[in-house]
C-alpha cells in the first residue's frame, strides 16, 4: 500500500516531526512597497527562516482572488494573484526554499471558490438544472414564491448561508449555498467535475515542487442528501469562534462520512509523490472523530484545535495532551501541535489574563511545551516574537468579512494579522521598503518595533533567541527524535512534567511558586534562566543521565 512508503524512518517521512512555520503572506514581508506582503518578500526572508531552524513553511492562499476573504476566495488556483507576484516567482521561491533546506506547503481551498471563478460565472449565466450549476449547490427557494432560503443553514461569517440569484431573464431565481461569505459559493462534491478539478490542481502544484497541502475547511466538503435543516444556528466553524460548541449528531454539513473518500483518493498521490504531506483544517470538538481523518490511508496530520483552545492551566493542557496521544496513536498517526494561526487570537494575549508581559512570558513557555512534545508542530508567524493580538484599530481599516458582516459586533481576525516588525525603527518597522508607495494594509501599533526581529536577535533572553535555541536543540538532540512521552509525577498539580528519549525532560511551571529541576538535571533550554529552578510561567528542557 502506498502509505507504507512513509513509514517511520523512510526518507519521505519528513513531516513526522517537522516544525512548520505558517507564513501569512499578506503580513510577512512586502518587497514591492505596496503595503501587502508578497512572494519576493518571503524569498528575501528565507535566511531568517533557515536560521530560525524550521523544517517547512505553510503559505496561506496566494492564488488569484478578489480578496474578499484575504485570498480564501480563489478565482484561479493555477495562477498567483498579482498582489503577491506570479508563477515564476512562486517556483523561484519553492526552489530557493529547498536550497535552504525548507519544504513548502500551500493552502488548498476545496469547499468553495470565489464568485469570480469562471465556473461560478458560467453557472450564473446558465439555467437551473444545467451542468454548470451542478458544480455548485443551487436550489429553489422555500415558501410559496421561493423567496425564502432553501433551509436554515447559517454562514460562518454571519447571516444565512444562502443567496438568491437573478436568472438570465431578470426574474428572481434560485439560491446558492455559501457556508462562508456570499462571494464564496460552495462546490458540490457529488459532481465529478469538482473531484477531477481538484486532483488536477494538486498535481499542478506538485509538478512545481510543492511538498504538501493544508486543506481548508477539510471537514466541510460533503453535505447531507436533501440538505436537511439543522434546527438552530450553529456557530462552531472557526477555532476561536465557537460560541457554544454544540455537538450535533449527524450534522448535515460538517464531518460527513463521505468526505473521507475524497482524502483516500488524494492520499494515493503519494504513489508518485512520496514526500507529499496533507494537513487538514479539521474543526471538530471530538478527538476521536478528528482522528478518523488521519487514518493510514487518509491525511497525514490534522491541526490540533483542542490544544489551541486549552487555557493556561496544567490540568486542561495535560488532558488535551493525553487525549491527543491516545486518539492519534490509536490510528497510527503522528500527533501535531499548534498554538496560533491567522484565525485565532494570538497566544500571547489568550494567556495574558489581562497582563501583556505575563502573556508574552507564558507564550514562550507554551512554545517550549509544544516543541517538547512528540510529533509535529506549527508556529504562526510572529508568535516566535511573542506578538500580542492588536485590539485597537480604526474600524475603517478593518478588513475581515467577520467584522464587516457582523456590523462590527465581532471585531474579527485582523488583530492577529498585523504586518511583522523586522526592524526596531522605520515607518513600517522594515515590513515594507523605505520607498514604499503605500502604508501597510493593516496599521502596526505604536511600539511594534520594540518586538522586532532585529531587536530580539540582539537580545540573548528574547523569545526569538530562545525559540531559535530550542529549535536547534530539538533538531540535533537524539531525545527529541523519540516518539515517546512519559509523565513525571513531581507531586505538583501546577506543572506539566514529562520525559522524552535519551534522558530529556520537559518541565513547565503553571503555578505561582518556583519549581526546582530534578537533581542532576542539566539545562538544555529555558524560557527564563534562574539557575536550577523553573520560575512561574516558565518552561525548561533538561537532560539527566
Ligand atoms: C478557514 C480559513 C479562514 C477562512 C475560512 C474560509 O477557516 O483558515 O481564514 O476564512 O476557512 O475559507
pLDDT digits (tens, 9 = 90+) for 84-134: 999 999 999 999 999 999 999 999 999 999 999 999 999 999 999 999 999
Distances in Å between the Cα of 504 and the Cα atoms of 409, 479, 527, 540 are: 47, 6, 16, 10
CB distance 115 to ligand 1 below 6 Å: no
Whether 175 contacts 183, CB under 8 Å:
no
CB distance 400 to ligand 1 below 6 Å: no
The pLDDT of residue 73 is above 50 = yes
Between CA 326 and CA 320 the distance in angstroms is 10
For residue 90, how far is its CA from the centre of ligand 1 (angstroms)?
A: 22
CB distance 217 to ligand 1 below 6 Å: yes
Tell me the mean pLDDT in the region 209-227.
Answer: 97
CB distance 29 to ligand 1 below 6 Å: no
Q: Which of 73, 132, 186, 281 is catalytic?
A: 281
CB distance 156 to ligand 1 below 6 Å: no
Mean per-residue pLDDT of the chain: 94
pLDDT, tens digit, for every residue of 421-480?
999 999 999 999 999 999 999 999 999 999 999 999 999 999 999 999 999 999 999 999
Cell of 461: 533572553
Other Cβ atoms less than 10 A from the Cβ of 352: the count is 21
Q: Which of 22, 61, 180, 183 to mutate to test the pocket of ligand 1 (most atoms within 8 A of CB)?
A: 180
The pLDDT of residue 3 is above 50 = no
Tell me the mean pLDDT in the region 396-401.
Answer: 95
CB distance 69 to ligand 1 below 6 Å: yes
CB distance 181 to ligand 1 below 6 Å: no
The pLDDT of residue 245 is above 50 = no
Q: Pick the atom of ligand 1 nearest to 73's CA.
A: 12
Whether 511 contacts 498, CB under 8 Å:
no
pLDDT computed for residue 2 by the predictor:
38
CB distance 216 to ligand 1 below 6 Å: yes
CB distance 211 to ligand 1 below 6 Å: no
Cell of 3: 502509505
The pLDDT of residue 1 is above 50 = no
Which of 50-59, 279-288, 314-323, 342-351 has the weakest average pLDDT?
A: 279-288
Residue nearest to atom 9 of ligand 1 (CA): 343
Between CA 319 and CA 439 the distance in angstroms is 44
For residue 72, how far is its CA from the centre of ligand 1 (angstroms)?
A: 6
Is 203 a known active-site residue?
A: no
Q: Pick the atom of ligand 1 nearest to 413's CA.
A: 9
CB distance 238 to ligand 1 below 6 Å: yes
Between CA 214 and CA 192 the distance in angstroms is 22
Q: What is the pTM of this model?
A: 0.96
Terminal Cα distance for the chain, rounded: 41
For residue 257, how far is its CA from the centre of ligand 1 (angstroms)?
A: 21
Residue nearest to atom 4 of ligand 1 (CA): 72
Q: Which of 23, 72, 378 to mutate to test the pocket of ligand 1 (most atoms within 8 A of CB)?
A: 72
For residue 106, how far is its CA from the centre of ligand 1 (angstroms)?
A: 14
Helix axes 463-476, 356-372, angle to 10 degrees: 10
Between CA 137 and CA 187 the distance in angstroms is 6
Q: Which of 26, 215, 217, 218 to mutate to test the pocket of ligand 1 (most atoms within 8 A of CB)?
A: 217
The pLDDT of residue 238 is above 80 = no
CB distance 72 to ligand 1 below 6 Å: yes
Q: Which of 216, 298, 383, 389 is catalytic?
A: 216
Q: pLDDT confidence of 285, banded at 50, 70, 90?
A: confident
Other Cβ atoms less than 10 A from the Cβ of 33: the count is 15
pLDDT computed for residue 236 by the predictor:
52
Other Cβ atoms less than 10 A from the Cβ of 519: the count is 7
Whether 146 contacts 136, CB under 8 Å:
no
The pLDDT of residue 321 is above 50 = yes
Is 188 a known active-site residue?
A: no
Amino acid at each position: 500500500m502506498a502509505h507504507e512508503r512513509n513509514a517511520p524512518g523512510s526518507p519521505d517521512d519528513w513531516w513526522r516531526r517537522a516544525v512548520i512555520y505558517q507564513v501569512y503572506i499578506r503580513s510577512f514581508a512586502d518587497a514591492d512597497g505596496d503595503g501587502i506582503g508578497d512572494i519576493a518578500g518571503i524569498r528575501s526572508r528565507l535566511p531568517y527562516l533557515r536560521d530560525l531552524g524550521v523544517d517547512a513553511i505553510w503559505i496561506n492562499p496566494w492564488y488569484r482572488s478578489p480578496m474578499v476573504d484575504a485570498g480564501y476566495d480563489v478565482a484561479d488556483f493555477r495562477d498567483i494573484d498579482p498582489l503577491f507576484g506570479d508563477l515564476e516567482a512562486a517556483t523561484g521561491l519553492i526552489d530557493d526554499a529547498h536550497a535552504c533546506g525548507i519544504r513548502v506547503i500551500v493552502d488548498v481551498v476545496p469547499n468553495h471558490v470565489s464568485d469570480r471563478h469562471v465556473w461560478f460565472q458560467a453557472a450564473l449565466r446558465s439555467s437551473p438544472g444545467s451542468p454548470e450549476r451542478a458544480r455548485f449547490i443551487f436550489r429553489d427557494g422555500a415558501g410559496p414564491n421561493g423567496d425564502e432560503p432553501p433551509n436554515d443553514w447559517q454562514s460562518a461569517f454571519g447571516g444565512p448561508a444562502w443567496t438568491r440569484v437573478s436568472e438570465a431573464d431578470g426574474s428572481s431565481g434560485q439560491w446558492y449555498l455559501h457556508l462562508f461569505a456570499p462571494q464564496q459559493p460552495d462546490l458540490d462534491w457529488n459532481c465529478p467535475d469538482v473531484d477531477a478539478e481538484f486532483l488536477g490542481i494538486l498535481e499542478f502544484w506538485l509538478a512545481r515542487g510543492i511538498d504538501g497541502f493544508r486543506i481548508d475547511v477539510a471537514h466541510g466538503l460533503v453535505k447531507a442528501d436533501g440538505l436537511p435543516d439543522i434546527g438552530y444556528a450553529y456557530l462552531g466553524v472557526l477555532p476561536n469562534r465557537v460560541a457554544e460548541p454544540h455537538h450535533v449528531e449527524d450534522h448535515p454539513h460538517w464531518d460527513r462520512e463521505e468526505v473521507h473518500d475524497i482524502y483516500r483518493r488524494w492520499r494515493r498521490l503519494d504513489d508518485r509523490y512520496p514526500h507529499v504531506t496533507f494537513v487538514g483544517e479539521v474543526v471538530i470538538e471530538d478527538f476521536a472523530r478528528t482522528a478518523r481523518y488521519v487514518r493510514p490511508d487518509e491525511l497525514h496530520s490534522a491541526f490540533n484545535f483542542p490544544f489551541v483552545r486549552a487555557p493556561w492551566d496544567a490540568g486542561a493542557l495535560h488532558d488535551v495532551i493525553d487525549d491527543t496521544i491516545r486518539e492519534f496513536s490509536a490510528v497510527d498517526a503522528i500527533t501535531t501541535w499548534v498554538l496560533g494561526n491567522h484565525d485565532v487570537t494570538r497566544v500571547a494575549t489568550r494567556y495574558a489574563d489581562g497582563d501583556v508581559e505575563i502573556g508574552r512570558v507564558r507564550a514562550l513557555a507554551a512554545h517550549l511545551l509544544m516543541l517538547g512534545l512528540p510529533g509535529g508542530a506549527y508556529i504562526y508567524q510572529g508568535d516566535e516574537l511573542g506578538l500580542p493580538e492588536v485590539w485597537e484599530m480604526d474600524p475603517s481599516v478593518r478588513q475581515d468579512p467577520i467584522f464587516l458582516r457582523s456590523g462590527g459586533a465581532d471585531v474579527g481576525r485582523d488583530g492577529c494579522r498585523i504586518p511583522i516588525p523586522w526592524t526596531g525603527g522605520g515607518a513600517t518597522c522594515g515590513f515594507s521598503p523605505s520607498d514604499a508607495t503605500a502604508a501597510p494594509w493593516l496599521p502596526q501599533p505604536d511600539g511594534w518595533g520594540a518586538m522586532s526581529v532585529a531587536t530580539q536577535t540582539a537580545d540573548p533572553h528574547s523569545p526569538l533567541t530562545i525559540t531559535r535555541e530550542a529549535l536547534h536543540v530539538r533538531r540535533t538532540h537524539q531525545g527529541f527524535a523519540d516518539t515517546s512521552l512519559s509523565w513525571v509525577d513531581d507531586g505538583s498539580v501546577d506543572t506539566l512534567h514529562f520525559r522524552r528519549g535519551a534522558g530529556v525532560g520537559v518541565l513547565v511551571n503553571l503555578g505561582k511558586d518556583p519549581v526546582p529541576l530534578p537533581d542532576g538535571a542539566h539545562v538544555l533550554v529555558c524560557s527564563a534562566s534562574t539557575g536550577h529552578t523553573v520560575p512561574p510561567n516558565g518552561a525548561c528542557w533538561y537532560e539527566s543521565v
